[in-house]
Structure 1
């Protein structure tokens, strides 16, 4: 891996205005993403997890500039692309692609597989040695599809095959970074494993870098190197996969992990399930200070008045919590965690 991050996101935010009346007067804003920061190194996979509506998908679309940020910066391969014009951004899109969540709606039903997967070559004006058709057929074979399916239409394929077509389109121009937005959530469990294994194999073969957005923590655990946990537009914890799953620091992460199914009946009976009280607050009017304090069993007065910063511990694990769980005591002479 390179010492410099391939992707660096700093204080990224997206506020959707809420308007009222005929004059469309703004009366508020939905804070879908509010001050998100993280780095992704070349060749690694960062998983982004959280409940529905926490801002995961919006973050992915901001990174790829499918949405315009309200604030913050996105730096890709050393270039600040936050406000880059579409003309300057177009060549960079070869290196930064997205896998969309729904394989049924993300493929144009009027176009053949060859047209869909070959579109990036035509849009970018790229010539291939043996022609676009040969290049597309090679990519179809790479993702486990029959190259002879070049002239078929999306409705002739199963859900898993359609997702492979979407992955093939993403890989057409050999990108360096792929944002995978819920890549298996619309698929049957047996097909999910096939697609997850395909993504892992492609990463090893092609040296890809992933940001995998998902609500299924089992999928994220299988494919990720590091995991970021989002709650109501903010990242509350980032850590290496093993440390986050075995010793989560944020109460919200602990609650999420307690809900992950365990195949062993003995393990299920021994584990304590944490049931969060109440609903997720509205991003239109989030709670002050720590946004999780309205549902947290450890909340105290400071949680309602002082917002916790995403602080980095000695092992690189980051958490935004005044009273983290599973946190080792700080030895004498070791500085307290610093804001990250």
Structure 2
């Protein structure tokens, strides 16, 4: 979570503020995976994994992407780290457009943008020792350390809660939590500015999850890290996030700070997700209304027109089938893409509907609007 930090610019007497500056900006990000059939492999359709995301990430904060499986969270993370090439849209990192940079031009930026993978078993090469795995970034980026790579790796292992003696061991000798710590150590080797964490604790036991989450928070405070956290566990998200973006079928349907989103969610999909979060207090649990969405998530190959959630929404009306609601700010820092937002005043609801009719992109896609 965000703390007040500053960093020296290298110029005597000049201190550069860390918090509040925009580190990453995403505008209209799209990723469609083509579907090809036949002998000539002609394109017959496309999987619309990510379809028009716009958001920004400021230095030192944690932005979490949440949603059901298949909503495009992991694809978004791979786009941000340029492990995937965007179909369209812009990704701007520290003022530089990295959307379509070649591999050669992206190589220096790999120092600043790193990723923690979901599977601590599949993300480590079983044939390499821990020392070789964690030291790989130094070799790939040709980075020299003062006391040698081995010493630097051993310091990283200590930093993430492992022993320097683990340097010569292999991944199969460690538990799941320890393997994830090894992956985190590898990610930290080049002191990145942005880390995309793809469900870093979902494959771990509950008893280990809290330890890894606390480790990530400690590292953020110590190294002024910025996180884009991908998760489906809303309890974990509430603990680590500054802001939360809720995704559904490749689109962001709600974006707000943590407190506002959990206490006063505005999009019906967010309300349904939060109603499924387990509550340990039996008295509070009895008062909670569990919302069970009807039907399955539509296919991203042929998503519903206009509002993509209208096929499962209990508040859907005709306008939801003809006009796509834009992601509009209904309260300070709280954006929602819904014609009939929950927990909203009549003025906020009127603002949402007026914005949909005035939005040029919406009107173009939906002539009925």
Aligned partner of 2:226 in structure 1 is: 209
Offset at residue 3 of structure 1 (A): 4.1
Instruction: Give 1:20's match in structure 2, choosing from 26, 29, 37.
Output: 37
C-alpha separation in 2, matches of 1:51 and 1:25: 31
- The structural deviation recorded for 1:2 is 4.2
Distance 1:247 1:2 in 2: 26
Q: Does the aligned pair in 2 maintain the 1:313–1:337 contact within 8 Å?
A: no
Aligned partner of 1:241 in structure 2 is 258
Q: Distance in 1 between matches of 2:206 and 2:126?
A: 25
Q: CA shift at 1:4, angstroms? A: 3.3
SS in 1 for 2:111: coil
Say if 2:243 is the partner of 1:226.
yes
State the 1:146 CA deviation. Answer: 0.4
Residue 171 (structure 2) pairs with residue 142 (structure 1): no
3-state SS of 2:347 partner = coil
CA contact (8 A) 2:36 2:42 kept: yes
After the TM superposition, which residues 1-340 of structure 1 pair with which residues of structure 2 at under 5 Å, given as runs? Answer: 1-330=18-347
Q: What are the ranges of 5 or more consecutive residues in structure 1 without an aligned counterpart?
A: none
Is this contact kept in 1: 2:326–2:355, CA < 8 A?
no
Asked if the contact 1:314/1:337 (under 8 Å) is kept, the reply is no
Is the Cα–Cα contact under 8 Å of residues 176 and 204 in structure 2 kept in the other structure? yes
Q: Distance in 2 between matches of 1:327 and 1:5?
A: 29
Alpha-carbon contact 1:237-1:310 (below 8 Å) kept: yes
Q: Number of paired residues?
A: 338
Following superposition, the deviation at residue 265 of structure 1 comes to 0.9
- In 1, are the aligned partners of 2:137 and 2:190 still within 8 Å (CA)? yes
Deviation at 1:337, TM superposition (A): 6.6
Q: Deviations over 1:244-287 (max 9, x none)?
A: 00110000000000000001111111100000000000000000
Provide the C-alpha distance between the structure 1 equivalents of 2:264 and 2:345, rounded to a whole number of angstroms. Answer: 10
Q: Output the CA distance in 2 between the equivalents of 1:255 and 1:273.
A: 8
CA–CA separation in structure 1 for the residues paired with 2:91 and 2:344: 31
Equivalents in 2 of 1:2, 1:258: separation in Å?
A: 33
Matched residues in 2 for 1:322 and 1:91: separation?
44
C-alpha spacing 1:219/1:159, structure 2 compared with 1 (3 Å)? same
Paired with 2:160 and 2:140, the residues of 1 have a C-alpha distance of 22
TM superposition shift of 1:314: 3.7
